[in-house]
Amino acid sequence: MDTVQDMLSQLKQFIAYPTVSSDTGQRQTMYDCADWLAQHLRSIGMQKAVVYPTSVHPLVYAEYRSDPSRPTLLFYGHYDVQPAEPFEKWKTPPFLPAISGNYIVGRGASDDKGQVFIHIKAVEQLLKETKGRLPLNIKFLIEGAEEIGSVGLRQFITAQKQLLQCDAAIVSDSRMAAIDEPAITWSLRGSLNVEMEIRTMGKDLHSGTFGGCVTNAGTRLAEFIAGLHDREGRITIPGFYEDVREYSEAERALFARDGISDDSLLHDAAAFFPWGERGYSLYERVAIRPSLAVTGLSAGFQGQGVKNVIPSTATAKFNFRLVPDQDPVKIHRLLEDYTKHVLRDTHLRLTYSSFNHPVRVPLNDPYVMAAARASREVFHKKPKFLMNGGTIGAVDHLHTILDIPIVLIGFAQAGDNMHAPDERFYLPNFFKGIRTIKKTIQYAAVNH
């Protein structure tokens, strides 16, 4: 049996790979990390662990077939991470993982390498404890492109439907209700990522010579962005809310009871003020209402000092989060119509990079119930059933193509700085997570 030190040292090795999937300069790193992962999966006793290339980054598949008459659980996770910029805001280097108090700190610590490692260590321990006689069959699917929209995963799952056949999938890429309170996520928002460039004139101009008589692309883009929300905090794209599901007073009362309070959300966010659509709690705004975030904005000169220039181009990156029953393809079309009209005085380039449908998971599924029982026993609290504002494209694909229930049981915290500097993972819950997954496997086998 590994000691705690061994486990942490392995996890540190895993995090140390700068597997930024959006960085084309890291292609080799992705292969190195996938190879390391496959090797590690073989070392814990998996019968087979293979690195599969995809159209972008490789993924790792592994399996342990115990008894064909028993059910099969598929553990899904991802080894790729978000970019670590801005580097200077990290207290310790993002790819030099460090233990700080009860936390392990580094890019990917909680999203998702730490949580992938919970699955692996749970299976490793069960394999040792049962001397290889697992109560069910185990498969791992660990991809390398989750943060860029799970590119290539849909094709892989479609092509390898037979290989991936299973009875349920366990996904740990979400957060708990609180540091001592487990959670099972039953709702994820969909997403749509779009990049925009506008051009207002043929070239950049001198801000003295021409200041006051031509359209500044930075100002023009700012006006456009300012106009995307109205005074009620609603998105102004015509037809945007057409397919948004409405909820009854009873359902909303339930959200208010089980959901996260405004105060708690604001505290987790370190936000000065609330913001958003009037008439909804902050939890509802991220759970049952769609949103639109400017994730990148750029125009003119951004270096040190001064450049007297009127920029002729400006770019923005937009991230939509969608809810049932919005269709990302339809939303993209509405956006296109809207921008073509509103920005008809500019040369406009609109490209979309990825999208996913919103997902809902049935709560009465036996595998969901197995995970709920396991987490209640380990954490001594009933798990909360949460709606999450985030998106896991893989969940959409697994659910749709394999036609299986998905158990979304996460062990991260809201304050773990996922996608931001100083990303971290709370180690006591790393170890409790391992125990929870072990029990989930056992109850899933019994339930069946």
Among 43, 353, 380, 428, binds its own copies (CB under 8 A): 353
Give Cα separations from 431 to 8, 102, 234, 428, 440 (angstroms). Answer: 11, 12, 42, 5, 14
CA angle at 167 for the pair 355 and 132, rounded to the nearest 5°:
120
CA angle at 195 for the pair 243 and 342, rounded to the nearest 5°:
65
CB of 118 to its own copies, least distance (A): 20
How does DSSP classify residue 401? I
Binding mask 197-216 for its own copies (x = CB under 8 A): ---xxxxxxxxxxxxxxxxx
Among 40, 78, 119, 189, binds its own copies (CB under 8 A): 189
For β-strands 168-171 and 406-409, DSSP reports them as parallel
Q: By C-beta, is 3 or 302 nearer to its own copies?
A: 302
The answer to the question of residue 294 lying near its own copies (CB under 8 A) is yes
Q: Restricting to residues 109-168, which ones interact with its own copies according to CB under 8 A?
A: 147-149
Which among 92-100, 333-341, 399-407, 418-426 is the span making contact with its own copies, rule CB under 8 A? 418-426
**How many residues sit close enough to its own copies to count as binding (CB under 8 A)?**
101
CA angle at 35 for the pair 30 and 38, rounded to the nearest 5°:
125
CB of 303 to its own copies, least distance (A): 6
Please answer whether residues 108 and 423 qualify as being in contact, where contact means their C-beta atoms are separated by less than 8 angstroms.
yes
CB of 187 to its own copies, least distance (A): 12
> Is residue 354 packed enough to be buried (19+ CB in 10 Å), middle (13-18) or exposed (0-12)?
middle
The answer to the question of residue 307 lying near its own copies (CB under 8 A) is yes
CB of 361 to its own copies, least distance (A): 16
CB of 199 to its own copies, least distance (A): 8
Please answer whether residues 311 and 300 qualify as being in contact, where contact means their C-beta atoms are separated by less than 8 angstroms.
yes
For helices 4-16 and 27-43, give the axis angle rounded to 10 degrees.
Answer: 160
Q: Restricting to residues 234-253, which ones interact with its own copies according to CB under 8 A?
A: none
147: nearest Cα among 402, 417, 419, 398: 419
Q: By C-beta, is 159 or 179 nearer to its own copies?
A: 179
Among 68, 101, 303, 362, binds its own copies (CB under 8 A): 303
Among 126, 142, 265, 395, binds its own copies (CB under 8 A): 265
CB of 411 to its own copies, least distance (A): 15
How does DSSP classify residue 402? I
Q: Restricting to residues 369-408, which ones interact with its own copies according to CB under 8 A?
A: 388-391
Strand order in the sheet with 98-100: 98-100, 103-105, 424-426
Q: By C-beta, is 195 or 365 nearer to its own copies?
A: 195
The answer to the question of residue 346 lying near its own copies (CB under 8 A) is yes
CB of 389 to its own copies, least distance (A): 5
Which among 38-46, 95-103, 179-187, 222-230 is the span making contact with its own copies, rule CB under 8 A? 222-230
CA angle at 86 for the pair 80 and 91, rounded to the nearest 5°:
90
CB of 82 to its own copies, least distance (A): 6
The answer to the question of residue 289 lying near its own copies (CB under 8 A) is yes
Among 37, 38, 228, 395, binds its own copies (CB under 8 A): 228
> Is residue 109 packed enough to be buried (19+ CB in 10 Å), middle (13-18) or exposed (0-12)?
buried
Q: By C-beta, is 132 or 227 nearer to its own copies?
A: 227
Q: Restricting to residues 78-97, which ones interact with its own copies according to CB under 8 A?
A: 82-83, 85
Burial of 80-104, coded b for 16+ CB within 10 Å and e otherwise, reads bbbbbeeeeebeeebbebeeeeebb
The answer to the question of residue 263 lying near its own copies (CB under 8 A) is no
Q: By C-beta, is 11 or 148 nearer to its own copies?
A: 148
| Strand, coil or helix: 442 | helix
The answer to the question of residue 324 lying near its own copies (CB under 8 A) is no
